[in-house]
Amino acid sequence: RIYNITSTSAIDMLMKFGDVESAERIFRSIKAKGADIYGALMNGYNLNGESWKCFKIFEEMKEKDVIPDEIAWNILIGACSKSGMLHHCQYIVNQIPLNIQN
């Protein structure tokens, strides 16, 4: 768990400095990824103008049976907005589980 916290912080920091490649390398090196790790990468893509990559990572998250948390859903909605895919936002909102909506 401590390793994941450190890795999440490292991904977040690297993305804030615009070092997307190094952040992706750390992400790929992590064996057991949780929603926090995915969220850090997705948020970094939004920060660096690569919002479209959020959708790919979100799909990977679901394929790996990682349950998206409230933060991941919010980041994904932000990605829709930043990439100009406002029509896609409603589709995303409709997928959000009720326990997160309330």
Residue 51: per-residue pLDDT:
92
pLDDT in tens, 37-58: 999 999 999 999 999 999 999 9
- Model confidence, pTM: 0.87
Question: How many whole angstroms from its chain centre is CA 4?
Answer: 15
Residue 1: per-residue pLDDT:
57
pLDDT in tens, 61-79: 999 999 999 999 999 999 9
Question: How does residue 2 score in pLDDT terms, banded at 50, 70 and 90?
Answer: low
What percentage of the chain reaches a pLDDT higher than 70? Answer: 95
Residue 82: per-residue pLDDT:
84
Domain boundaries, the chain: 2-101
CB 80 within 8 A of CB 86: yes
DSSP annotation string for 15-74 = HHTT-HHHHHHHHHH-SS--HHHHHHHHHHHHHTT-THHHHHHHHHHHHTTPPP-HHHHH
pLDDT in tens, 5-28: 899 999 999 999 999 999 999 999
